[in-house]
Amino acid sequence: MSNIYQQIWNSDRHKFLVSPRNGTGEWLDSKAEILLDEQVKAFGRADLDLARQPLFYHVERQKFDRSPTYQSLFDLLNNYRFDNQKSEIVTRVEKAEVDRFIDDICQTKVIDLAYEYLRQQLQVKLDRPTFKTQLKYIWFSLYTNYFGDFPLRDASGFEHVFVGEGKYERSTSDRQISGAISGYHSWIKFYLDEQQHKANYLGHNYTIEGNLGVENPYVATVQMRWQDVDKQSNLPIKLFKKRGCFFVGTSPECEIAMGTVAFYESLANYKFRDERREIIINGAKYDLALYRNINPDSSRGDRIRSFYPIYLGEESI
């Protein structure tokens, strides 16, 4: 299990085949399940959109119906308030939806691989029932994150990574609600929000030189604006994210499996440095960023705060 992330990637039976455009604008594989249109480099301003088309030109939506893990994920996405200053209200139905999602992903090969890796490589003492309980705890249990001057209550790793959190700045003089986006590292959420005209792709924002980022369609580093209307004030909401990273085409169970492995590796201080760990998948180099929650004494806690890939380019031969 020398490269657990590659093994998890290879065993992801429910991931999508993704194609970018080539240098002349044609699709490398027009029959791919996702056609990813990264178009242009972002300019860096929330009010300047240089990408005329959505990021997701095409997604074969029928594939979502072929796996229960996508369906149970969809049930979870509306359980959270996007405004990170509003308290969460967790209903009995929502708790049942979390249990169903955990049950569904635990029947997949990628979660099996993660579990065996924790037991064999990291020597974590976990039986199957305890592992399921831990998945629920590190991803879904609510905590207060003591980061900055204002502790963030009712936070969870799942909400931050798969849904995102809005940092609202209300200004009646501007007659709109502005602010920023925190988290939001799920290609599925981005695609669904594009379909609802909430996510506006502004262009790619890779830090590597040249145009190398768009040559790997299985990761996206984007600049975006998120927009909606506040139901109470009827004011428009316009939030900005200068740089957001996520894998593209991966199944929910694949991302949970990789994030869980990274979480336990960070606890064991195994190959992590400055809360990042370099990995290679299909010849591409990534830094996996894994942040745990912050305790009142500024130490890192025992739950996931954030998880996302940073694309570093292709492996040198």
pLDDT in tens, 240-282: 999 999 999 999 999 999 999 999 999 999 999 999 999 999 9
Higher pLDDT, 147 or 5: 5
Residue 22 CB partners (closer than 8 Å, separation 6+): 28
285-307 tens-digit pLDDT: 999 999 999 999 999 999 999 99
Average pLDDT over residues 128-134: 97
Task: Tell me which residue of 255, 228, 219 sits closest to 168, measured CA to CA.
Answer: 228
Is the pLDDT at 211 greater than 60, yes or no? no
List the structure tokens of 294. 């912050």
Is the pLDDT at 214 greater than 80, yes or no? no
Helix (H), strand (E), coil (C) string for the chain: CCCHHHHHHHCCCCCCCEECECCCCCECCCCCCEEECCCCECCCCCCCCCCCCCCEEEECHHHHHHCHHHHHHHHHCCCCCCECCCCCCCCHHHHHHHHHHHHHHCCCHHHHHHHHHHHHCCCCCCCHHHHHHHHHHHHHCCEEECCCCCCEEEECHHHHHHHCEEEEEEECCCCEEEEEEECCCCHHHHHHHHHCCCEEEEEECCCCCCCHHHHCCCEEEEEEEEEEECCCCCCEEEEEEEEEEEECCCCHHHHHHHHHHHHHHHHCCCCCECCEEEEEECCEEEEEEEEEEECCCCCEEEEEEEEEEEEEEECCC
Alpha-carbon gap, residue 258 to 9, rounded angstroms: 9
Lowest mean pLDDT, pick from 22-26, 105-109, 211-215: 211-215
pLDDT > 70: what percent of the chain? 97
Q: Which residues pair with 132 in a beta bridge?
A: none
**What pLDDT was estimated at residue 12?**
98
Residue 223 CB partners (closer than 8 Å, separation 6+): 42, 44, 201, 202, 203, 204, 205, 241, 242, 243, 244
Is the pLDDT at 209 greater than 80, yes or no? no
**What pLDDT was estimated at residue 173?**
65
Alpha-carbon gap, residue 220 to 42, rounded angstroms: 13
**What pLDDT was estimated at residue 169?**
84
**What pLDDT was estimated at residue 314?**
87
Alpha-carbon gap, residue 135 to 101, rounded angstroms: 11
Average pLDDT over residues 225-248: 93
170-195 tens-digit pLDDT: 765 678 899 999 999 999 999 999 99
Is the pLDDT at 207 greater than 90, yes or no? no
Average pLDDT over residues 22-42: 94
**What pLDDT was estimated at residue 2?**
73
Q: Is 91 exposed, middle or buried (0-12, 13-18, 19+ CB in 10 A)?
A: exposed
What is the pTM assigned to this prediction? Answer: 0.95
